[in-house]
Amino acid sequence: MRIVPFLISTAVTAGLIVGLNRSWGPIPPLGSFFSPQHGFWQNADPVGKDYSENLVLPGLKEKATIYFDARLVPHVFADNSEDACYIQGYLHAKFRLWQMEFQVYAAAGRVSEILGRGPGDGYLKFDRTMRRLGMVTGAEKAVAEIEKDSTTKKDCDAYTAGVNEYISRLKESELPLEYKLLNYRPEPWSNLKIALFMKNMAYELAGGEDDFEMTNAKSIFSKEDFAKLYPSLRDSLDPIIPKGTVFQKPSIDLKIPATVDSLYLGNRDSALVWEHKPEKANGSNNWAVSGKKTLSGRPILCNDPHLGTNMPAIWYEMQIQTPAYNTYGVSFPGAPYVIIGFNDFCAWGVTNAERDVRDYYQVRFKDSTKREYWFDGQWKAADKRIEEIRINGQESFLDTVAYTVFGPVMYDNTFNGSSIRRSDKYYAVRWTGDDPSDELSVFNNMRLAKTYDDYREAVRALSTPGQNFIFAAKDGDIAIRQQGSFPAKWKKQGLFVMPGEDSSYLWQATIPGDEAPALKNPERGFVSSANQPPADSAYPYYLGGDYPIYRGLIINRYLGRMDSITPRDMMKMQTDNYDVFAEMARPLLLRYLNESQLSMDEKKYLALFRDWDLRDDANEKAPIIFREWWSRFEDGVWSDEFSRTTLALKRPDESVLLEALLKDSTFSFVDNINTAAIESLRDVVTAAFIQSIPVLEAAEKEGRFQWAQYKDTWVRHLLRLPALSRMHVPIGGGANCINAANQFHGPSWRMIVQLTDKTEAYGVYPGGQSGNPGSPFYDDFIDKWAAGKYYPLWVMDRDDARDKRVKWKITAGKGDLPTGQVN
Amino acid sequence: MKFFVSILLTALLSFVSGLYLPWWGMALVSFGVSALIGQRPWWSALSGFLALSLLWGLLAWMIDTGNNSILSHKIAQIFPLQGSSLLAIGVTALIAGLVGGLAALSGSYMVGRPRVADAD
């Protein structure tokens, strides 16, 4: 033995192995990661992989068969609801485990546990936001509600068991790629995680508000200016419930606080908070047309929810059949049931209600220990919850959250959101998402629904996020309801931060479900929604919230003049790129442009804009000119007033500016207050046009002078890794088009269902059925989605087992199966 | 002769080890084979290197072919390998080769200098 070289060589070998067996910052353990028998190579599914197998699943009560079609959509045939949910959990885990767990981590404020504190402590701040909003306590309450409902409880138990069955058999080599990249392992699933997943949706869709921005605006602008900047309704609004509808008298009589003028509306205090917010563009379209307007004489229902265009996709498509029901549609990996889809009798879909269900109260604590706060004339003890936020590679962060009668204290002397400025103001949050609710029972009941009455009963349980729940049935009914738990508020309640020292500012009641804005079989032959206000000022309750209006306008305009509608017409409409905002803004811009100031080159762009067909199609040029021009115009109008402060503010919506100028070209904000001269609308419009020219010229020179390239839509991996994303997807549309494809956001599932005797349905989503970036099924729907094309949705019958559309088959039983058994 | 036997035996046993043990099982194999089949240290090291880089490289290449390079192309962007599947396979082979070579060198030093006549 050569002792010295042996020792040196062995030490180097051991060192190398140890070094390759651990992660270095963002670099995963290279040894296991590159091992063809353990690491990422194991995730490189062979093209043409065989998904057929016989499975022994001890948690099943009876047996189940899963047929996969060529798109890897499973058609599940189970003998009872629990087995169906068990199989659903198993399949979600098999194809989407990483994303469902990661989204639950996000909801529970556990991102730092995987990714560390993040740049500028960003992940830690996000986690604190989620904890302080009460996401976990809210989910715990939701689990308690689920326990009360025997069906949902049994189904959730079965779903969780199915997920855990898959996790328990997962070998290291089979871990989804992201676990290997980030070097961690999945935890057991639970019903709490299902509830957390649903809370994540509640946050994304009903967690937004602008209370601090509005409070700051109130502190800066005069009352008159505030009314101009933030009007509650728009002239061009076409609400979900048509104008002129008469509503019944409200059953709730609200008491306005005696101090409302002095302490609330007249209060000029500002706040230093900068909030983390859900994506503002989370919205959607849905509509249903009655048989009067269709070629088949039967209703057609359409829905396209707009969410982050993420990979792996938020949706997992499937058919589930038991002797009691037969549903087809998309499900959330992370929860049981079909969320948007249809059964043999009816179809349903949702858009976001956009109501304001999250308010703030400024609470006064005795001292910075947050032990006691002043409420109704005495000191009251606050509950405390200590949140341990684990941080990858570091010590845990302990966050103490005080709970008051209003809700958890979200912002305080230790936390001001993403703002680094400290203040000693305490803001408690009141959010309907923190209340007990059982949203899953809605989808449990919808799979069984046959008639309008069933639907009406099923949607009652929908609390948060509130949705415009649309319905159409084979018996001919169409309907829409804005369903959810909406607090009955007096005018402007919760628009600003409210005084939190007595009970007079508390929410007083929830609007009864029977008084929800609703429409059934209207004369005009269609119902629709696109996140616009549910009603005009005739609705007897204060609506609050922040609503886009343009998609709703164009949808109703199209539907109003269409007849003999076919599913093909609906496809054309759902992917339509007509920009109705541009239609209204262009005359204004052209009227006030001073053409005599323009050079020949500049006039070339003007001609493109003037001749534009107002479509935001992928290959158009004019939408770029319009966007550049309009955004500079907005800057010209607002930036002087809005840059006077470093406080969080919100610029008025583009519809506010446009409508103000259509009414009054001498709108006071047009003038630049930083100059001695008085600028006219003509000056600002013309300057904005001239300023946009260099950007347009640069885009043209760089070959980006086409709308799709300029807008640059991505279907983006949840970790935002470009390599795992589909970048530069050639798709037109935009925020104000029905085809609302933005950069990282857009139609996340387009569905069209014609309710003929044999249902005729079409759908597509930006992604693929497999969540594995190494699978050909990871992103195979994206090109079709971008091109505005659809897949026919195959509702398989039990007798279709030998149909050539069946590509693979999983036979599952609870005990040993004889090989080759045919169901 | 020993050289080729070492390579074959190391690759074969490492493949089996990979089915049951963590990835570093192959280092034990390489070490053991080198200790059993006496060669000059650097010949041992070279056979360990070649055995494992060929094993991993070949396995990776086979998987990659079956996968139409879908995943390797992505991994080669997350790691700065210009999106090249070939480079991803190369890095895979290199990692295994380094571990195999060093482990074999250690094994060889443990048993000491082989009889000169056996070296080839």
d(CA B73, CA A173): 20
Q: What percent of chain A has pLDDT over 90?
A: 95
Which residues does chain B have within 8 Å of residue A28's beta carbon, measured at their own beta carbons? Answer: none
Query: Is the per-residue pLDDT at B117 higher than 70?
Result: no
- On whether the CB atoms of residues A496 and A215 are closer than 8 A, the answer is yes
Model pLDDT for residues A587-641, shown as the tens digit of each residue: 999 999 999 999 999 999 999 999 999 999 999 999 999 999 999 999 999 999 9
Average pLDDT over residues A452-464: 96
Q: Cβ–Cβ of B23/A38 closer than 8 Å?
A: yes
Distance CA B32, CA B104 (A): 8
State the amino acid at position B84 in one-letter form. Answer: S
**Which of A6, A36, A45 is nearest residue B56 as measured by Cβ atoms?**
A36
| pLDDT tens-place string over residues A179-214 | 999 999 999 999 999 999 999 999 999 999 999 999
pLDDT tens track for A704-763: 999 999 999 999 999 999 999 999 999 999 999 999 999 999 999 999 999 999 999 999
Q: In A357-507, where do the E strands start and end?
A: 358-363, 372-375, 378-381, 383-391, 394-403, 409-411, 426-431, 467-473, 478-483, 487-488, 498-499
Measure the CA–CA gap between A260 and A578, rounded to whole angstroms.
44
Average pLDDT, chain A: 95
Contact (CB, 8 A) for B54 and B110: no
Per-residue pLDDT band for A816 (boundaries 50, 70, 90) equals low
Question: Hey, of B63, B68, B84, which one would you mutate to test binding to chain A, going by the most A CBs within 10 A of its CB?
Answer: B63
Please write the tens of the pLDDT for every residue from B19-50.
Answer: 999 999 999 999 999 999 988 989 999 999 99
Please write the tens of the pLDDT for every residue from A418-449: 888 889 899 999 999 999 999 999 999 999 99
The CA distance from A383 to the nearest CA of chain B, in Å, is 46
ipTM of the complex: 0.95
With a CB cutoff of 8 Å and minimum separation 6, the contacts of A410 are A129, A132, A133, A360, A427, A428, A429
Domain ranges of chain A: 580-614+621-705
> For A655, left (φ over 0), alpha (ψ -120 to 50), or beta?
alpha
User: Count of domains in chain B?
Assistant: 1
Residues on chain B touching A31 (C-beta within 8 angstroms): 23-24, 95, 99
Residue of B nearest to A772 (CA): B71
Contact A44 B64 (CB under 8 A): yes
State how far the Cα of B36 lies from the Cα of A27, in Å rounded to an integer: 36
Residue burial A453-465, b: 16+ Cβ < 10 Å; e: rest: ebbbebbebbbbb
Picking from B23, B41, B70, the nearest residue to A31 by CB comes out as B23
Query: Does residue A16 belong to the interface with chain B, where contact is any CB pair within 8 Å?
Result: yes
Size of interface A-B (CB pairs under 8 A): 122
- Using a CB-CB cut-off of 8 Å, the residues of chain A touching B75 are 40, 723
- Structural domain range at position B85: 2-118
Residue of B23, B74, B106 with shortest CB distance to A6: B106
Given this model, what pLDDT does residue A251 score? 95
Cα A171 from Cα A183, distance rounded (Å):
14
Cβ distance of B59 and A36 shorter than 8 Å? yes
A76, A617, A55, A660: which is closest to A316 by C-alpha? Answer: A76
Q: Are A284 and A304 in contact (CB under 8 A)?
A: yes
Instruction: Kindly state whether B66 is in contact with chain A, defined as any CB-CB distance less than 8 angstroms.
Output: yes
Mutate to test the interface with A, among B23, B63, B94 (most CBs of A within 10 A): B23
Q: What is the pLDDT of residues A158-186, one digit of tens each?
A: 999 999 999 999 999 999 999 999 999 99
Residues 6+ apart with CB under 8 A from A464: A202, A206, A357, A431, A432, A433, A435, A437, A439, A484, A485
Find the CB nearest A16 among B59, B83, B98. Answer: B98
Place of tokens 């999250």: A358
How far does the CA of residue A45 sit from the closest CA of chain B (Å)?
A: 6
Contact, A530 vs A548, CB < 8 A? yes
A104 touches chain B (CB under 8 A): no
Query: d(Cα B86, Cα B99) in Å, to the nearest integer?
Result: 20
Query: Does A37 contact B22 at a Cβ distance shorter than 8 Å?
Result: no
Q: What is the C-alpha radius of gyration for chain B, rounded to an integer number of angstroms?
A: 16
Is A1 touching B (CB cutoff 8 A)? Answer: yes
B102 vs A13, A43, A724: nearest CB: A13
Q: Is the peptide bond before A533 cis (omega within 30 degrees of 0)?
A: no
**pLDDT digit string (tens) for A221-230?**
999 999 999 9
CA distance B4 to chain A (A): 22
A722 to chain B, closest Cα gap in Å? 8
Put simply, whether A727 touches B (Cβ < 8 Å) is no
pTM attached to this predicted model: 0.95
A821 or A497, which is more confident = A497
Distance from CA of A777 to the nearest CA of B (A): 11
The alpha carbon of residue A49 is apart from the nearest alpha carbon of chain B, in Å, by: 9
Question: Which one, of A569, A527, A577, A572, lies nearest residue A746 by Cα?
Answer: A577
